[in-house]
Amino acid sequence: MHLLDSELILNPDGSIYHLCLQPEQVAPTIITVGDQDRVSAVSKHFDRIDHMVSKREFLTHTGIYNGHPITVISTGIGTDNIDIVFNELDALLNIDLIERKVKSVLQPIRFIRIGTSGALHSDIDVDSFLISTEAIGLDALLHYYELSFSKKEEIIKNAFKTHMGNINDVYCAAGSPELINKFGDEFVKGITITAPGFYGPQGRSLRLKPKDDSFFDKITTFNIHNNRITNLEMETAGIYGMARLLGHQAISCNALLANRSNGLFSSNPKKTVDQLIEKVLGLIF
């Protein structure tokens, strides 16, 4: 099917609309980070950088690491940006932009998120690293797509909704077993909450009070088959859902910079993130 100009939007130079990238500027292994500044913190470890492209909040470096092609891109904050980034990265590798047709042979992509997050339980140390085995999305992104959920994902979602009581519809999406197994026992593992905001949606209160004062207590007491919610952030559920919809693999690795239970925050967050970057890069290939 020929994709219309209004659906597959390209810039005058033929690059994809938001990311401003050409197909040859993207590798099939992609590290996603939220913060633009974290892109160079990753790419400084590359053997070389071949492409550097910036538009809006999306900064991309593509090069070679240990002999393998690799891309790191900043997504900005939130699953609305994940929708843009994942659709456009997939289009670059799996749609012929000149013919405006999906390719007959699709290129699988490995997405590795290197992000920051806040731990929910006092026994999870600040500055430790966590892999999200599943993520519960409080956002609306996956409700706009037809995604088949596994039995385990449905069980977690339904148990969470029952536990929370008055909560809007949610979804649960799991990370790729191949990547989670590859990373082995190097990380804490747990269920992640992906919220559509940083303050009220995560139970924080400055001048505005969250609608549900018991939100934090509820999520910290949730447990299903000895699986608990370990952390809160703003992208992982969207990453897991979009990757599976598009036939790709994804894993979310989190530097736990805060502990919401005991009110602590990392004394050296940059050092912690740098250590996570080095650990992840050592496990990718």
Three-class secondary structure assignment of 12-43:
CCCCECCCCCCHHHCCCEEEEECCHHHHHHHH
Tell me, yes or no, whether 156 and 172 share the same domain: yes
Tell me, yes or no, whether 271 and 216 share the same domain: yes
Residue 191, CA distances (Å) to 49, 53, 100, 123, 225 in order? 35, 34, 39, 15, 12
Q: What is the pLDDT of residue 283?
A: 95
Q: What is the pLDDT of residue 273?
A: 97
Tell me, yes or no, whether 77 and 174 share the same domain: no
Residue 166 has pLDDT above 80, yes or no: no
For the segment 126-132, the average pLDDT, to the nearest whole number, is 97
Tell me, yes or no, whether 46 and 142 share the same domain: no
Question: Are the CB atoms for 61 and 49 separated by under 8 Å?
Answer: yes
Residue 185 has pLDDT above 90, yes or no: no
Q: What is the pLDDT of residue 186?
A: 77
Tell me, yes or no, whether 20 and 46 share the same domain: yes
Tell me, yes or no, whether 65 and 158 share the same domain: no
- For the chain, how many structural domains are there in total? 2
Q: Which of 107, 139, 162 is the last residue of a domain?
A: 107
DSSP-derived secondary structure for 225-282: TTEEEEEEESSHHHHHHHHHHTT-EEEEEEEEEEETTTTEE-S-HHHHHHHHHHHHHH
Question: Are the CB atoms for 123 and 263 separated by under 8 Å?
Answer: no
CATH of the domain at 21: 3.40.50.1580
Q: Which of 107, 140, 169 is the last residue of a domain?
A: 107
For the segment 135-156, the average pLDDT, to the nearest whole number, is 96
For the segment 265-281, the average pLDDT, to the nearest whole number, is 97
Tell me, yes or no, whether 136 and 210 share the same domain: yes
Tell me the sheet residues that pair with 58.
55
Tell me, yes or no, whether 29 and 128 share the same domain: no
Q: What is the pLDDT of residue 76?
A: 96
φ/ψ of residue 161, rounded to 5? -65, -40
Tell me, yes or no, whether 102 and 123 share the same domain: no
Find the domain containing 166 and state its range. 114-285
Q: Which of 56, 88, 107 is the last residue of a domain?
A: 107
Tell me, yes or no, whether 30 and 135 share the same domain: no
Q: What is the pLDDT of residue 184?
A: 78
Round to whole Å and give the CA distance between 126 and 124: 7
Each residue's pLDDT tens digit, 200-215: 999 989 999 988 889 9
- Minimal CA–CA distance to 218: which of 207, 229, 208, 227? 229
Q: What is the pTM of this model?
A: 0.96
Each residue's pLDDT tens digit, 17-62: 999 999 999 999 999 999 999 999 999 999 999 999 999 999 999 9
